[in-house]
Structure 1
Amino acid sequence: MMTLDELVGAARGLALGARWEQATGLLDAAAARLPQTAEGRGAGARIALAAAEIAVDSVWYNGNDEGAARLSKVDADALDDLGRWDLEFARFRSTYYAHLRQHAPFLREEGQRFVDSAPDARRLGWAHMYLGLVYDNVLEERVDAPAHYEIALANSGDDPLLRREAQRHLGDHDHDAGDHADALARWRDATSAGAAMGMVAGTLSQQILLAVLARDAGDEAGAVALATEVLRWSEAIGAGRIAGQCRNFLAGVDPTQPPPAPSE
């Protein structure tokens, strides 16, 4: 019989493979069969949290923003201290996404709160990762972001997904500084780290960045060929946001540059 850890691990594996609906469906089905006991309540809270985290993560790729709704249904009182930290951090990540490209200074204080309260190195790394993203994409104080990404990378340890995120965004700063050699090294490392975890959508999103460098190097044919294949894959797995990036790239748009600020 599958343990709770094995169940959550299997669901996360499906999500990494771009099977987001199957992942949450598996967890929902397991939750529906739990006994109405204290033990069942605790297991249900862990399952609901895992499903909510998957939904929060998947919005970056498929645009189906059901994370906030799922987070609101997690029974926080049935979680242990680590679970409650993870729940609050997932809520923070969901709020960050909702305020992307908006000026929301409160997110800096929220991010710092998670840095200060992180119970272990891996969670500290993720807290710094998102604080860096706040500086980059919400506050537009990009000069302050790389230091947080470096701390995230230093604390990635045995978490390849954290390593991927840190290297992805450090490479973005290298690219903006005109250091294409370091950007290429970081983006290749990020691609490999995500692929090693079976991260289909994330690996595709990295390939677009490699296409950017090909275009920068004057290899337009190679850039177009790579982006065309990423578009084909993205459409096939339902990763609509990546597919949109590919179409924009093929139309001449640089996906490493921020979109225009929304009009008031």
Structure 2
Amino acid sequence: MTNTASTITTVVSLDQLLAAVRELRISGRWTRAADLLDAADASDARDRARLAVAAAEVALERDWFGGTSLAGARLDAAERACGEGKEARPQGDWELDFLRLRHGYLGLVRVDGRFRPGPDGKDPAALTALRTSAENLRGRAPDAVRRGWAEMYLGLVADNLLAERDLAPAHYEAALRAGESGDDLLSREALRHLGDHDHDSGDHPRALERWRRATELGARAGTVPGTLSQQLLLAVLARDTGDEAGAAALAREVARWAGAIGAVTTEAQANAFLAGADPTAPPSPGAAGR
């Protein structure tokens, strides 16, 4: 008996395809998401640009959680696709420029595969340019949610790259307000980092409240790797309150699940936590941070 491959032709709108890719991306199914985008064929320059930008976003998410280095090439391809004509640029240049911002942030906060926040050893001009880019994106954001994402990154740059920790919460609060208008992932991200400030100031009940809510929102939005990384923060609080057995049990499950889906950075953080590291500890001068 011979098996022959068959081709089924069906009509799926680009919006439907991109919605499906988004769900695959945030759930950690990066290979399937990229394969779907690469298999799509579009005759319209605007549609090709949207596909290329979506592929760059998938690659960036994989780089963040999976430790790969795929986004640079995908961003260059998206730049070319968006440059086929001014009218082909999705949302002006905002979406692509925001991905460039996120990629630049990742490149500065992760060095040699490890998270190394703080300005030590980093080009001051690159740090300033990253903040300027975020400010520019905030100013020309086409809606409140995207303005909120720019605020989020202004907070992250201040917090994790410029050692201006006191300036970050106001940006996170602005991001949270924007997220509450309809973006659970943005709300989750803001709550995650606001809870980090609560934790560092010793307000563990407030941190627990925010981190539990962030975990819930992440699960509702479908972000599997993001929910695992959030669970690790709950393990931190369990350890802080003396429940070492509970903290270790939770961290072991995070490591196991993260490894199963290829989220190697989260797996490594969970294993480091089991070995005694604190993923929320602020960096000491010249030392590796969280």
TM-score scaled by structure 2?
0.85
Percent identity for Structure 1 against Structure 2 = 52
* Cα drift, residue 132 of structure 1: 0.3
Q: Is the 8 A contact 1:171 1:183 kept in 2?
A: yes
* Cα drift, residue 53 of structure 1: 1.2
TM-score scaled by structure 1?
0.93
* Cα drift, residue 57 of structure 1: 2.3
Distance 2:64 2:33 in 1: 16
Give the match for residue 216 of structure 1. 240
1:155 aligned counterpart, secondary structure: helix
Give the match for residue 175 of structure 1. 199
Deviations 1:105-161 (A, max 9, x none): 322222111111112101100000001000011101100000000000011111000
Please, what is the CA RMSD of the aligned residues?
A: 1.5
* Cα drift, residue 246 of structure 1: 0.6
Distance 1:177 1:54 in 2: 35
Q: What pairs up with 1:248-263 in 2 under 5 angstroms?
A: 248-258=272-282, 261=286
Give the match for residue 17 of structure 2. 7
Distance 1:223 1:91 in 2: 36
Equivalent residue for 1:98, pick from 91, 94, 107 = 107
Amino acid at match of 1:160: D
Equivalent residue for 2:58, pick from 34, 54, 59 = 54
Distance 2:106 2:92 in 1: 21
Q: Is the 8 A contact 2:50 2:90 kept in 1?
A: no
Max Rg structure: 2
Q: Is the 8 A contact 2:82 2:90 kept in 1?
A: no
1:149–1:221 distance in 2 versus 1, CA, 3 Å = same
Q: What pairs up with 1:73-112 in 2 under 5 angstroms?
A: 73-74=77-78, 75-77=81-83, 78=85, 79-80=88-89, 82-100=91-109, 101=117, 102=119, 103=122, 104-112=127-135
1:206 paired to 2:233: no
Which structure has greater helix proportion?
A: 1
Distance 1:89 1:43 in 2: 19
Structure 1 stretches lacking a partner, 5+ long: none
1:234–1:83 distance in 2 versus 1, CA, 3 Å = farther
1:34 paired to 2:50: no
1:226–1:13 distance in 2 versus 1, CA, 3 Å = same
1:161 aligned counterpart, secondary structure: helix
Amino acid at match of 1:138: L
* Cα drift, residue 2 of structure 1: 1.0
Give the match for residue 188 of structure 2. 164
Amino acid at match of 1:137: N
Give the match for residue 65 of structure 1. 69
Structure 2 stretches lacking a partner, 5+ long: 1-10, 110-116
Q: Is the 8 A contact 1:46 1:83 kept in 2?
A: no
Distance 1:146 1:57 in 2: 24
Deviations 1:181-229 (A, max 9, x none): 1100110111011100111100000000000000000000000000011
Amino acid at match of 1:252: G
Give the match for residue 22 of structure 1. 32
Amino acid at match of 1:61: F
1:17–1:81 distance in 2 versus 1, CA, 3 Å = closer
Give the match for residue 192 of structure 1. 216
Deviations 1:24-46 (A, max 9, x none): 1110111xx334xxx2x221110
1:147 paired to 2:170: yes
Distance 2:237 2:90 in 1: 43
1:19–1:46 distance in 2 versus 1, CA, 3 Å = same
